[in-house]
Amino acid sequence: MTGAWPRARHVGLLLLVPAVALAHERFIRHQLKQPLHDEFFRRYPGAFLGMHPAMLRMGLNAVIVLAAFAVVWLVRHPIDEAIERAVVGAGRGVQHAVHLLACFVTDRPVRNRVFYAIGQWGVIMFLRVPGLVLMYSAANNSLVMPSYPLDPKTEFFFKMAQAALAVLILTQTLLPLCGALLVGTWIYLNRWGWMVAADALPVLSVAVVYLSSPWESHKLTITDLSEWQVRWVRLTLGFGFFALGWLKIYNHDLVAGVADQYPSVLDDPMVKLLAFGADPSFKRECWVVSFALAEVLSGFMVMTGTFLRVWSVIMAAMFTKLMLVDFGWNEIPHLFPIGALTAIAFSSRLTSELRPVEVLEGRAGRDGKRLRQAAIIGGAAVGLALVVIFPMLFALTFTDRANLR
C-alpha cells in the first residue's frame, strides 16, 4: 500500500526510523502544483552509471545507512552484554528493566506478562480488523480500498460478498476460506493494473495466517502465531513495503503530488539524512527518491527481521497517526499493516534471515579469528546494502513513465 508520512511531531521516533510508507497516495489529494524534472529520474548523459549525481548520492547515503544497521545488528550481542554489565550494581529493578528492553530491541523472547498480554491482543486484532476494512469498503461502494470503486453493474454482488466475508472474519469462521478469498480478491485487483496489486500487497500478510489456520477456527481462541506464521507475515509485509518504495520512484508524480498538497512531509529527518549532500536545486525530486529509499530500507528491515520490533512499533504508530490524525477514515486500509506490525512486535517467536551470516561470524569469533570476523561482518553489511539499493535504482533510470501521464 503506497503511503505518506507527514512530518512527525515525535522527534525521538523520527530519529530512529524513516517516514515509512506514504500510505495510499491514491486516497488523498495528490495534484502536482508544478511538474517535476523528469530527466532527473532517467538516464543522465556523462554521469557515473548514467544516473543523476544527486540520485547517485542518495543511493550511496542509503547504502551507508543500511550497512550501518546491518553491522549493529550483527554485533548486537556484545553490545547488549556490555550494557547489561554496565548496570550491574544499579539495583535489581533497573537491571531487570534494562534486560527486558535489551530483549525487546534485539528481538529476543521477552519474559513479561504485560508483553505477553499485549501480544495476545495484537494477534486478535490482526485477525479481526480486516473485517472492519471490508465493511467500510462495502459501505462506500469500493473493493477493499476506497480508491478502487465498484462497477455499478456488479456493485451489489461485491458489496454483499465483502459483507459476508467480513462476518466470517469477525467471527473467526472458516479462516482458510477467508484466506483464499482474500488472495483471490488481491488477484482481482489487477483489473486496475499491476501497480494496484502492488499497492495491496499487505492484504496478503493476513491471508497467509488465515490459510494456515484450522478449518474449525470458530471453536478456537487464536491468540498466538507460530514461528512459521510470524516469518511469513514478516516476509510478505516487508516485501510489500520494499516493493512500494521502488514504486514511488517509478510513479514519482503521484508521490510528489502528495508532498505538494502536504508540504510538511518534506521536513522528515530521516528523509533529509538520505538526501544529505544532494543538489538542493532539485529539492522535490530529491525528496521523492530519498522518501522512496526510506521505505525500501524499512521494508528490507522488516523482510529480513533486522531490529524487527523497533521498526514494527514505530511503523504501526505512524500508520495509526496517519489514519486517525492526518488523512481520516479513507486510510482505514492501514489497519492491515497496523494489525500485522502489532502482532509481530509483540511476538517472542521472531527469526532473522541474516542468521547464516551470524553463524559464520560467530564461528570466526570463537576461533579467535578477529580479522576474519570483522571481514565477514563488514563485507556482508556493505555487500548486502549495495545489492539491495543500486541494481534497482540503476534499472529504474531506464524505465519509461509515459504511460503514467
Of 233, 236, 129, 127, the closest CA to residue 176 belongs to 127
Which grid cell sits at 201?
500487497
How far apart, in whole angstroms, are the C-alpha atoms of residue 41 and residue 211?
A: 40
Per the DSSP assignment, residues forming a β-bridge with 3 are 23
Q: Look at residue 259 in the predicted model and tell me its pLDDT.
A: 66
Q: Look at residue 11 in the predicted model and tell me its pLDDT.
A: 32
Q: Look at residue 18 in the predicted model and tell me its pLDDT.
A: 34
Per-residue confidence of the chain (405 residues) as pLDDT tens digits?
444 333 333 333 333 333 333 334 444 555 666 778 788 888 888 888 888 999 999 999 999 999 999 999 999 988 888 888 887 777 788 888 888 999 999 999 998 999 999 999 999 999 998 998 888 888 888 877 766 777 788 888 888 988 999 999 999 999 999 999 999 888 887 776 777 777 778 888 899 999 999 999 888 888 899 999 999 999 999 998 899 889 888 888 777 776 666 666 666 677 788 888 888 888 888 888 998 998 899 999 999 999 999 989 888 887 887 777 766 676 777 888 898 999 999 999 999 999 999 999 888 888 888 899 999 999 999 999 999 999 999 999 988 766 655
Q: Look at residue 233 in the predicted model and tell me its pLDDT.
A: 93
